[in-house]
Amino acid sequence: MRTKSICFITGTDTGVGKTYFSFSLIKALKKLGVDAVGFKPVETGCQPSCQDAELLSKASGVYLKPVYSLKTPAAPSVAADVEGVKINVDKIKELILKLSKRYPFLLVEGAGGLMVPINWNYLYLDLVKELSLPVLIVALNRLGVINHTLLTVKVCLDEGVRVEGVILNSCGKEDDSFRSNYESLKKLLDLPVYPFSRPEDATSIALSLLS
């Protein structure tokens, strides 16, 4: 069992359930005896509070304040421009490394997907590559998820990013593709695809990450 680890949580889009999954995974890891915490270095749409960071803190047992908390509900680069903030990526990287040494298991949550710009010269993909972070991809089980997931996985593989697996979040509304998407992704991807429809499903995912 790994005693020290770090993982980056990304999504195929915004609003796919990254924070809810991260919350559930942290809780599952803690039940397995792992001191896991969640950290979202940049959060936008903080009106007035940072709801994602607060939810992560409820599972973590400690509040890890975002390096940048922005009110505008947009990509970090856009929100920073609107609010006259200059995002220093080095500060983000330094804190991630510091936290990874302090806690046995650190989940770092991005905003949206890997191609979202933190500032106009730096994507979340760049952060993942520079820090050599393995990723878990959260995808919402709905029409279009196959294309969005394959595109995200392709970017990772093309850029040398290790993918720990795809989390198919089935907590939303069902549509005509709902029941077939899981089997389709399993056939198309040569990596783990984890169904996630309730918090308890995070336990098996946690065990896989620790093995």
CATH classification at residue 186: 3.40.50.300
Cα(206)–Cα(110) distance, integer angstroms:
19
Cα(124)–Cα(112) distance, integer angstroms:
9
For residue 70, which phi and psi values (nearest 5 degrees)? Answer: -120, 140
Domain housing 125: 5-210
Do 8 and 105 meet the contact criterion of CB atoms below 8 Å apart?
no
Number of domain units in the chain = 1
Residue 40 is a catalytic residue? yes
pLDDT for the residue 48: 87
pLDDT for the residue 3: 44
Cα(122)–Cα(128) distance, integer angstroms:
11
Residues of the binding site for Mg(2+): 19, 52, 109
pTM (2 d.p.): 0.95
Catalytic, out of 4, 30, 40, 58: 40
pLDDT tens track for 123-152: 999 999 999 999 999 999 999 999 999 999
pLDDT for the residue 176: 72
Residues of the binding site: 15-20, 44, 52, 109-112, 169-170, 200
Average pLDDT value for the chain: 95
Residues of the binding site for substrate: 44
Alpha helices per DSSP H over 41-105: 51-60, 76-83, 89-102
